[in-house]
C-alpha cells in the first residue's frame, strides 16, 4: 500500500501591493445660491464700513468648500472671521509702521539721498508680497479639512519672500520672459510643501514642463506690445480730433478734461476684453502646467481648461463686478470655483486613508493677502 503524504504546508503568500484609492472631484456648488449671500455681505460691509468682510469671506468659504467633493465627500472650511480680522490688524502694523518711518526719515533727507531709503522699501515691499502669498496659502491649508483630516503647509514664508524678489528681478531683466519659468518655480515651492495630514504632496517639474507655456506667453507678450501701440495711435487721433473740433476762438491746446477722461476710460473698458483674450492662452496653459506637476503618492492631476472658456469666465466676472460695484463677489467666487473643480481630474491612486492628523496651524488669518488684495477667495 502506497504511503499517503498529507502536506499541510501553507502556500506562499504574495506580498501585498500598494493599496489606495482613485481620486474623483465633483462639485455641488450652485452660484445662484450665493446671490442673497452677496446682497447680505454687501449691505453689511456698507453698514460696518467694510469691517464685516472678514466674517462674510468666512461664510463664503464655508459654503464653497462644502460644495467641493472628493470621492463624494465634502471638504470643510474651519476658519473664523475673527482670525482674519486679527490678521488684518497685524498686517496694518507690519505695513503701516515702515511706511510712517520712511515718510518721517525722508522729511529730513535731501532728495539726492531719498533713494537710499526708498529703494530698500521697494525691496521690502516685494519681499512682503511673497511672504503674504505664502502665509495666505498656509492659513487656508490649515483651515481646510477632508474626512476630518486637516491640510498643512510646511516650508518658510521668509524664504519664499526672497525667492519671489529674485523671480521679479530676473523677469524684469529679461523683459518678462523669465516669468513663466518663475511661476512654475514659485508654484513648486508651495505645492511640494503641502501635506494632507502627514501625507506629503509633491511637485514634479518635468511633468509641469510637459505642458508648453512659452508659445502662449509669446502670443500675450507680442500682442500686448502691438495692442499698446494701436491704443496709443487711437488716443493721439482722438486727441487731435477733439482739439480741432473746438471753436476757433478757443485755445487749441485746451481740451475739455471731462470729455477726454470719459473717452479714455471708455476706450480702456473696450480694450480690456481684447487684452484678456491675448493673454488667455497663457493663463490657461500655466494653470494646466501647474496642475500637471502636482501629485500625491501615485496619483497625478490634470486640469482640462482651455483659453476661450477661461477668457469668457474672466470677462463676464469682471463685468458683473463692475456693474454691481463688487456686490456679487461671492457669486463670482462660487462660479469660478465650480469652473475649476469641474475640469479637475486625477489618475493613479493615493493612500489617503493612511493620513494622520496635522497640527492646527497659525492662529490668525491672511492679513497681508487682504491688505494687498490678492486673496483668491
Report how far residue 145's alpha carbon sits from residue 142's, in angstroms, rounded to the nearest whole number.
8
**Residue 270: burial class (beta carbons within 10 Å; 0-12, 13-18, 19+):** exposed
pLDDT of amino acid 320: 97
> What pLDDT is attached to residue 258?
78
Q: Is 100 inside any structural domain?
A: yes
Average pLDDT on 296-313 reads 98
| 331 in a structural domain | no
Look at the alpha carbons of 185, 154, 377, 338 in this order and tell me if their dihedral is positive or negative: positive
User: In this structure, is residue 166 part of a structural domain?
Assistant: yes
Q: Residue 151 in contact with residue 358, Cβ under 8 Å?
A: yes
Global pTM value: 0.88
Q: Could you list the residue range(s) of the whole structural domain that residue 94 is in?
A: 78-198+355-371
Question: Quick check: is 139 in a domain?
Answer: yes
State the total domains in the chain.
Answer: 1
Query: Would residue 158 count as lying in a domain?
Result: yes
| Tens-place pLDDT, residues 51-90 | 999 999 999 999 999 999 999 999 999 999 999 999 999 8
Q: Look at residue 284 and tell me whether its pLDDT is greater than 90.
A: yes
- 148 occurs within a structural domain: yes
Judge whether residue 10 has pLDDT over 90. Answer: no
pLDDT digits (tens, 9 = 90+) for 127-166: 999 999 999 999 999 999 999 999 999 999 999 999 999 9
Q: Is 6 helix (H, G, I), strand (E, B) or coil?
A: coil
pLDDT digits 0-9 by tens, 315-338: 999 999 999 999 999 999 999 999
- Residue 234's alpha-carbon distances to 206, 244, 267, 302, in angstroms, are 44, 15, 9, 42
290 part of a folded domain: no
Does residue 267 lie in a domain region?
no
Is the pLDDT at 354 greater than 90? The verdict is yes
pLDDT at residue 14 tops 90: no
CA gap 232, 240 in Å, rounded = 12
Q: What is the C-alpha separation between 199 and 14, in angstroms, rounded?
A: 26
Give me the pLDDT at residue 369, please: 79
Report the chain's mean pLDDT, rounded to a whole number: 89
Write out the H or E segment, with its range, that includes residue 162.
helix 157-173
Amino acid at each position: 500500500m502506497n504511503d499517503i503524504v498529507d502536506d499541510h504546508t501553507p502556500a506562499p503568500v504574495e506580498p501585498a501591493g500598494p493599496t489606495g484609492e482613485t481620486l474623483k472631484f465633483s462639485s455641488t456648488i450652485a452660484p445662484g445660491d450665493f446671490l442673497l449671500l452677496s446682497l447680505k455681505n454687501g449691505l453689511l460691509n456698507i453698514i460696518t464700513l467694510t469691517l464685516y468682510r472678514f466674517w462674510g469671506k468666512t461664510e463664503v468659504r464655508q459654503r464653497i468648500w462644502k460644495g467641493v467633493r472628493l470621492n463624494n465627500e465634502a471638504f470643510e472650511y474651519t476658519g473664523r472671521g475673527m482670525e482674519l480680522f486679527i490678521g488684518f490688524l497685524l498686517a496694518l502694523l507690519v505695513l503701516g509702521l515702515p511706511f510712517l518711518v520712511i515718510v518721517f526719515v525722508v522729511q529730513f533727507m535731501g532728495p539726492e539721498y531719498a533713494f537710499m531709503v526708498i529703494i530698500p522699501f521697494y525691496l521690502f515691499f516685494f519681499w512682503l508680497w511673497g511672504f503674504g502669498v505664502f502665509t495666505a496659502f498656509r492659513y487656508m491649508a490649515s483651515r481646510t479639512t477632508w474626512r476630518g483630516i486637516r491640510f498643512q503647509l510646511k516650508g518658510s514664508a521668509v524664504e519664499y519672500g526672497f525667492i519671489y524678489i529674485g523671480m521679479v528681478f530676473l523677469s524684469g531683466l529679461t523683459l518678462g520672459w523669465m516669468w513663466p519659468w518663475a511661476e512654475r518655480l514659485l508654484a513648486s515651492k508651495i505645492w511640494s510643501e503641502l501635506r494632507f495630514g502627514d501625507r506629503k504632496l509633491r511637485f514634479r517639474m518635468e511633468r509641469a514642463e510637459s505642458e508648453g507655456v512659452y508659445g502662449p506667453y509669446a502670443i500675450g507678450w507680442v500682442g500686448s506690445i502691438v495692442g499698446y501701440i494701436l491704443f496709443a495711435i487711437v488716443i493721439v487721433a482722438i486727441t487731435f480730433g477733439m482739439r480741432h473740433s473746438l471753436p476757433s476762438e478757443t485755445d487749441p491746446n485746451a481740451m475739455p478734461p471731462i470729455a477726454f477722461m470719459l473717452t479714455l476710460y471708455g476706450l480702456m473698458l473696450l480694450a480690456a476684453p481684447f487684452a484678456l483674450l491675448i493673454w488667455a492662452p497663457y493663463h490657461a496653459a500655466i494653470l494646466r502646467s501647474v496642475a500637471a506637476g502636482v501629485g500625491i503618492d501615485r496619483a497625478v492631476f490634470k486640469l482640462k481648461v482651455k483659453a476661450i472658456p477661461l477668457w469668457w469666465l474672466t470677462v463676464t466676472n469682471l463685468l458683473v463686478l463692475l456693474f454691481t460695484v463688487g456686490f456679487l463677489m461671492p457669486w463670482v467666487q462660487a462660479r469660478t470655483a465650480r469652473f475649476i473643480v469641474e475640469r479637475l481630474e486625477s489618475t493613479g491612486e493615493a493612500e489617503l486613508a493612511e493620513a494622520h492628523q496635522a497640527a492646527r496651524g497659525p492662529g490668525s488669518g491672511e492679513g497681508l493677502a487682504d491688505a494687498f488684495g490678492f486673496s483668491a477667495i
